[in-house]
Amino acid sequence: MAFDTVIRQGTIVDGSGAARYAADLAIDEGRIVAIGDLGEERGTVEIDAAGLIVSPGFIDVHIHSEVALIEPATPNRYGSVRQGVTTQLLAPDGFGWTHLEGELFRQMWDYTRFATGDAKLGGPWPRAEDYLALFDGTTPANVVPEIPHLPIRLAAMGWDDRPATDAELDLMRELVREWLDAGAVAFNTGLDYQPTAFADTRELIELSKVVVEGGAIYAAHIRYNILGRDAAWRETFEISREAGIPVHISHENVDDISRPLLDEAAGTIDVTFESYMYPAGCTHLAMTLPTWAQAGGTDGVYRRLQDPEIRKQLTEYLQESLTVGEGRPGKLTIAANQSGSHIGRTVAEVAEEQGLPIGEAAMRMLIAEHPYALTIYHRRYGDDVARTIAKETFQHPAMMVASDGIYHGTFSHPRASGCFARAIRMGVRELQAVTLEEAIYKMSGFPATRFHVPHRGFIRTGYAADLVLFDEATIADGATWERPLESPTGIELVMVGGEPVVRRNVPTGALPGKVLRRQDATVSA
């Protein structure tokens, strides 16, 4: 009797951080069924992995891919899967669209367009399960539900910029429980986004108490804008202490601000974080405004900017905050927007061409591009500092790799198509920050364990055959600031559930991805 597939003579890096070893690997019905010297045993499909690393498929815990994954028209649908990412968590930054109807549904969809693009998935989805049904037989990679704070707060109390009442909190608790029943692995929030920027710490603690009871963790884009980074980390620690919940901080780095916080937390706060390790962020242009001016989401901002007095005040604010120079923020590049104009150029370049002060040019852009404009926020420090930060970040035991990738448009942040391959190229080969085994752990075993992703993240018998075959000497990102959609190199094969989904960068068309639910963790092979 033959196995479905035998992968022969590969070097196994098993996702646990343990040392590599040489072995054959057999797959039956989507699972790993034997690891070792398989000698004369045969597979219906035989794959020669001599000279290649065989690792678990990577797990991305912060990625804006969910619409792109199931939308065949998205040009960069495979940007993440090509790198070996076989499992992707839903609801990064708390984004989501469930439990909303009519105008509120449309407004939330518009608000998150900067992350999802113009794809039309239909909706509304009154229940969590209605949304999760979209991923049935439609996706090359697996998806894992998280509880999206944005639509939950919007459903309970609209765009109001105030703390929740007890009754509204009760309604939010109910929706959180519904997601837990659907197998969500974490509660995810975005505390610089709307309407969640106005959730007070009490709301986060109260919801976290429900979340931890259901066996899930807290994950957050923390409250940078209102509190500042140091206090935002401390608020996360307080939530962990008060609710007794493990916490995970999105898109962070180890530097002079976070290092002492991580040291302080060691042994007392159960905290992890993830990093994409590029010296630039990416979010909507409206994030340049003060938080009070972002209230109400896209429509709220648009209405506010029609008021001449407020517009004048905010134009002055933008002039001050966007002027690039010594001790200032870095340049702002336009990645995607409603009109499709100025893509790939900086706001400063557009202002100069238009003969306008940068504040006025940015203001006109905010109004003209309603409802969405996506921008890349470059850090002001140079490449050397960026590499030093990346090295220390990669070496931190609480750090895992996640891309924060955005998959629409032609000029997105290169992290979407390059993050995982770059982490190996730069972090392992060039900086020698960690060993390949440690890097793979931070991309597979660690996120799987932290987020309770069932039967993924490790090469073990009984585990799903989600695998990446690559050449450790040549694996590299192709995506750059100038050519952000370029494919990586050195990756031979990506498999999901034993089925090839990408072969040498070319999608096979197979869609074996599934919704992986937390309670599946108790179901054996």
In whole angstroms, give the CA distance from residue 241 to residue 268: 9
Task: State which residue, 282 or 494, has the beta carbon closest to Zn ion.
Answer: 282
Nearest-approach distance from CB 253 to Zn ion, in angstroms? 13
Task: State which residue, 284 or 518, has the beta carbon closest to Zn ion.
Answer: 284
Q: Bridge-partner residues for 377, per DSSP?
A: 281, 332
Nearest-approach distance from CB 405 to Zn ion, in angstroms? 11
Nearest-approach distance from CB 22 to Zn ion, in angstroms? 40
Nearest-approach distance from CB 404 to Zn ion, in angstroms? 6
Task: State which residue, 221 or 378, has the beta carbon closest to Zn ion.
Answer: 221
The candidate with the shortest Cα–Cα distance to 371, out of 59, 109, 41, 90, is 109
Nearest-approach distance from CB 165 to Zn ion, in angstroms? 27
The candidate with the shortest Cα–Cα distance to 92, out of 415, 403, 336, is 403
In whole angstroms, give the CA distance from residue 233 to residue 166: 26
Task: State which residue, 5 or 294, has the beta carbon closest to Zn ion.
Answer: 294
Return the structure tokens found at 346: 């900086």
Q: Which residue's structure tokens are 């909507």?
A: 284
Task: State which residue, 225 or 505, has the beta carbon closest to Zn ion.
Answer: 225
Q: Is 388 helix (H, G, I), strand (E, B) or coil?
A: helix
Closest residue to Zn ion in the complex (CB):
221
Nearest-approach distance from CB 390 to Zn ion, in angstroms? 18
Task: State which residue, 224 or 364, has the beta carbon closest to Zn ion.
Answer: 224
Return the structure tokens found at 80: 């993440």
Q: Is 487 helix (H, G, I), strand (E, B) or coil?
A: coil
In whole angstroms, give the CA distance from residue 177 to residue 154: 16
Nearest-approach distance from CB 420 to Zn ion, in angstroms? 18
Q: Bridge-partner residues for 90, per DSSP?
A: none
- CA-CA-CA-CA dihedral for 132, 94, 75, 415, to nearest 10: -130
Task: State which residue, 94 or 246, has the beta carbon closest to Zn ion.
Answer: 94
Nearest-approach distance from CB 59 to Zn ion, in angstroms? 18
Other residues' Cβ atoms within 10 Å of the Cβ of residue 111: 28
The candidate with the shortest Cα–Cα distance to 113, out of 375, 372, 411, is 372
Residues near Zn ion, by CB under 5 A:
93, 221
Task: State which residue, 62 or 342, has the beta carbon closest to Zn ion.
Answer: 62
Task: State which residue, 221 or 422, has the beta carbon closest to Zn ion.
Answer: 221
In whole angstroms, give the CA distance from residue 59 to residue 88: 6
Nearest-approach distance from CB 190 to Zn ion, in angstroms? 6
The candidate with the shortest Cα–Cα distance to 520, out of 462, 455, 463, 450, is 455
Task: State which residue, 358 or 398, has the beta carbon closest to Zn ion.
Answer: 398
* Whether the Cβ atoms of residue 13 and residue 431 lie closer than 8 Å to each other: no
Task: State which residue, 82 or 415, has the beta carbon closest to Zn ion.
Answer: 415
Nearest-approach distance from CB 251 to Zn ion, in angstroms? 5
The candidate with the shortest Cα–Cα distance to 84, out of 501, 509, 517, 508, is 501
Nearest-approach distance from CB 2 to Zn ion, in angstroms? 47
In whole angstroms, give the CA distance from residue 430 to residue 424: 9
Instruction: State how far the alpha carbon of 225 is from the alpha carbons of 163, 193, 232, 247, 291, in Å.
Output: 17, 10, 9, 20, 7
Nearest-approach distance from CB 90 to Zn ion, in angstroms? 14
Nearest-approach distance from CB 26 to Zn ion, in angstroms? 40
* Whether the Cβ atoms of residue 98 and residue 131 lie closer than 8 Å to each other: yes
End-to-end CA distance of the chain: 20
Task: State which residue, 94 or 488, has the beta carbon closest to Zn ion.
Answer: 94
Task: State which residue, 168 or 192, has the beta carbon closest to Zn ion.
Answer: 192
What is the helix, strand, coil percentage profile of the chain, to 5? 40, 20, 40
The candidate with the shortest Cα–Cα distance to 464, out of 142, 66, 108, is 142
In whole angstroms, give the CA distance from residue 325 to residue 514: 48
* Whether the Cβ atoms of residue 87 and residue 115 lie closer than 8 Å to each other: no
